[in-house]
Amino acid sequence: MQSYLQYRSIRGGIRRQVDEHPGLVIPCCKDGNRRHNLFDNTEGNAKTEGSPDIGLSPLQGYSLRQRADFDRHPPPGIELSDRDHSTVFLVGWDHEKDTMNPRNFPLATRISVTLLVSAIAFVVSAASSIETAVLHQNSAAYNVSEVVASLATGIFLLGFAAGSLVSGPLSEILGRNVVYIGSLSLFMLFTMASGLAPNIGTQLLFRFLAGVFGCPPLTCAGGTIADIWDPLEKTLAFPLYAILSFGGAILSPLIASYMGQGTLSWRWTNCIILIMAGLVLVLVVLFQPETYSRLLMNWKASHLRKSTGDLRYQSAMDLDRTTPLSRIVTACVRQLTLPIQEPIILLLSLYMTVLYIVLFTFFDGYSYIFSDIHGLSQGLTNIVWVAMYVGIVLAALLVPVHYRRMKRLESLSRDLPSPNNPDTAQNGDINVSLNRDDQQAKAQSATPEHRLWYAMIGAPAIPISLFWMAWTDHANISIWSPIVGSSLFGFGSICIFISSYMYIIDAYEAYAASALGFMTVSRYCAAGGMTVVGIPFYQNVGVHWTLTSLGIISAVLTPVPYIFWRFGDVVRGWSRYAV
């Protein structure tokens, strides 16, 4: 609904613009109904697209005078471009404050878009782990082992990974809203089918399909955030999205704490997800505007062609002759090959993969950590997950601090003179010598490495929390010790997540979608496999050594953000893709 209103608003704006700027319509022939034309390079000639050449004998020279006036004073938002020996009017924003530009949407609208995207991500993340809360009942109902029943979570994550390969490119072809609404509708359908499945095989099939169609909010949300917030504002907006969306996977066991143990059947886990997804879908349909700039320009160009009859008005999307299938294939290939050449992407992906392995093995391991050792019931064990989310929320206290820091650095970068700027370099060596220290600070302030600030604070918390939980998880030690340790893990995880995403976006810009796509595929593939392995791991190795092993692996990766902070600019200098 909101996208349709947006489409009509753009159409109304174009009609007003045509009335205010008659130069948008350039007649070139006697037939007043055929105003669209393509100029060629021959004096006094014009060709109507899709029609024979039309002579201009009565108006000879008129079109060229119009063209000269158009060149000198093009209407707002129109840029002349020569393509294939013809003139194209490339459509863009009218000015920096153009209200159609998603970054110029009212603040309330941009906040609501961020919250809606976070809500979708919360729902699909909750679906990924909610089955772990009723693992015992699920395995008993289908008469399978708990390892087989845990496949309901693992196969869903593999579906996430498969869908991530194509959801990003699709959002850049069809727009964000079509992908969100379409995928969420199919996600609801397969979630319902999963809840009604008569046997484990059918459940796993529908869980996989639900994962495939549930992944777009997690793969496309970064693009939506970038659509509506500038780099400085994103310092506030992206952590808000990350903290809210992370809550889905963490809090879903709490939502299903006592399902399957009382009046509500264990199948209600799917019903709850279905209800939440339905509510969010209604909100998205009614209130979510389209934010993909290229699609909005495509709408604008289409309205200009219809209003003026001139087929030369084109958007960047119109001029892209690549087929959708080719774009999807290219994106998939790039996602899988780019990390081989990029150590930044490879190491950060490995780091995120380890974090997700730990997180999703916790969904199996909490019953061993808290139920077997401390005697908590299934419901109370699920409630313990609140502690981890408390740690995640505590990371929000760092956001205002980092925002002020980035604002100061951006101000420094913007205000300081540059020796490459002719306006400030006219004093020659005097200007450069007096400002050498400032220039060094300016160069430092412009680097993406400042996005690693969260990671450098949170990275040590991961191994500390795992060792803490491993060696204080004894019946004779207070249960609050491993609970507090889980809070520390939540704090460190969200810090790594925020920094990794924002650093990749700033460091790779045009290739960020491919880089983030690989990060998503790799971590969900690994987490999906380890979810199934988690139960025998905890059973055979024991809680203490399982957590110790994971702590040692995370400790090895702890220096990664510090290394990129110090040498990231050098590594980016080797790259063909990084800025």
pLDDT per position in the chain (579 positions), as tens?
Answer: 777 777 788 788 778 777 766 656 655 444 444 444 433 433 334 343 433 333 333 333 445 555 555 555 667 777 777 766 677 788 888 888 888 889 889 999 999 999 999 999 999 999 998 988 888 888 888 999 888 888 999 999 999 999 888 888 888 888 888 999 999 999 999 999 998 999 999 999 999 999 999 988 888 888 888 889 988 888 999 999 999 998 888 998 888 888 877 677 888 899 999 999 999 999 999 999 998 888 888 888 888 888 877 787 888 887 877 787 888 888 888 888 888 888 899 999 999 999 999 998 898 888 889 988 888 888 898 899 999 999 999 999 999 998 888 888 877 766 555 444 444 444 444 344 334 444 454 445 558 888 899 999 999 999 999 999 999 988 899 999 999 999 999 999 999 999 999 999 888 887 888 888 888 888 999 888 888 888 888 888 888 999 999 999 999 999 999 999 998 888 888 888 887
Contact 138, 266 (CB under 8 A): yes
- Here the tokens at position 260 are 């399957």
Give just the sign of the alpha carbon dihedral 193, 199, 203, 206. Answer: negative
| Helix (H) / strand (E) containing 360 | helix 343-366
Q: Give the structural domain span for 531.
A: 102-290+325-416+435-574
> Do 96 and 130 lie in a common domain?
no
Instruction: Give the CATH number for residue 377.
Output: 1.20.1250.20
> Do 298 and 248 lie in a common domain?
no
Q: Is 47 exposed, middle or buried (0-12, 13-18, 19+ CB in 10 A)?
A: middle
Check residue 69 and give its pLDDT.
58
Q: Let me know if residue 159 belongs to a domain.
A: yes
Segments of 241-381 assigned E as strands:
313-314
> Do 211 and 126 lie in a common domain?
yes
Q: Is 285 exposed, middle or buried (0-12, 13-18, 19+ CB in 10 A)?
A: middle
Angle at Cα 54 formed by Cα 50 and Cα 60, nearest 5°?
140
Q: What are phi and psi of 88, to 5 degrees?
A: -120, 135
Q: Is 318 exposed, middle or buried (0-12, 13-18, 19+ CB in 10 A)?
A: middle
How many angstroms separate the Cα of 550 from the Cα of each of 379, 496, 566? 26, 16, 26
Closest by CA position to 306, among listed 17, 99, 97? 17
- Here the tokens at position 321 are 């002759």
Contact 450, 406 (CB under 8 A): yes
Q: Where among 266, 282, 316 does a domain terminate? A: 316
Three-class SS state of 260: coil
- pTM equals 0.85
* Number of separate domains in the chain: 2
The residue behind tokens 């350039």 is: 26
Check residue 492 and give its pLDDT.
94
Q: Where among 299, 316, 333 does a domain terminate? A: 316
Rounded CA gap, 328 and 100, in Å?
Answer: 28
Contact 334, 514 (CB under 8 A): yes
Contact 112, 338 (CB under 8 A): no
Q: Let me know if residue 427 belongs to a domain.
A: no
> Do 373 and 518 lie in a common domain?
yes
Q: Let me know if residue 422 belongs to a domain.
A: no
> Do 386 and 311 lie in a common domain?
no
Q: Where among 281, 316, 351 does a domain terminate? A: 316
Rounded CA gap, 409 and 231, in Å?
Answer: 12
Q: Let me know if residue 70 belongs to a domain.
A: yes
> Do 390 and 454 lie in a common domain?
yes
> Do 267 and 383 lie in a common domain?
yes
Q: Let me know if residue 429 belongs to a domain.
A: no
Three-class SS state of 91: strand
The DSSP symbol for 446 reads T
Cα R_g (the chain), whole angstroms:
28
The residue behind tokens 């040498």 is: 567
Q: Let me know if residue 579 belongs to a domain.
A: no
> Do 502 and 397 lie in a common domain?
yes
Contact 91, 77 (CB under 8 A): yes
Q: Let me know if residue 421 belongs to a domain.
A: no
User: Which amino acid appears at position 158 of this protein?
Assistant: L
For residue 22, count other CB atoms closer than 10 A to its CB.
Answer: 10
Rounded CA gap, 106 and 113, in Å?
Answer: 11
Three-class SS state of 78: strand
> Do 153 and 255 lie in a common domain?
yes
Rounded CA gap, 78 and 164, in Å?
Answer: 36
DSSP labels for 77-90? TEEEEEETTEEEEE
The answer for 10, left when phi > 0, alpha when psi is -120 to 50, beta otherwise, is alpha
> Do 23 and 163 lie in a common domain?
no
Dihedral through CA 454, CA 332, CA 246, CA 173, nearest 10? 100
Q: Let me know if residue 428 belongs to a domain.
A: no
Q: Is 220 exposed, middle or buried (0-12, 13-18, 19+ CB in 10 A)?
A: buried
> Do 362 and 347 lie in a common domain?
yes
The residue behind tokens 């520390």 is: 488
The residue behind tokens 């039309």 is: 54
> Do 211 and 280 lie in a common domain?
yes
User: Which amino acid appears at position 522 of this protein?
Assistant: S
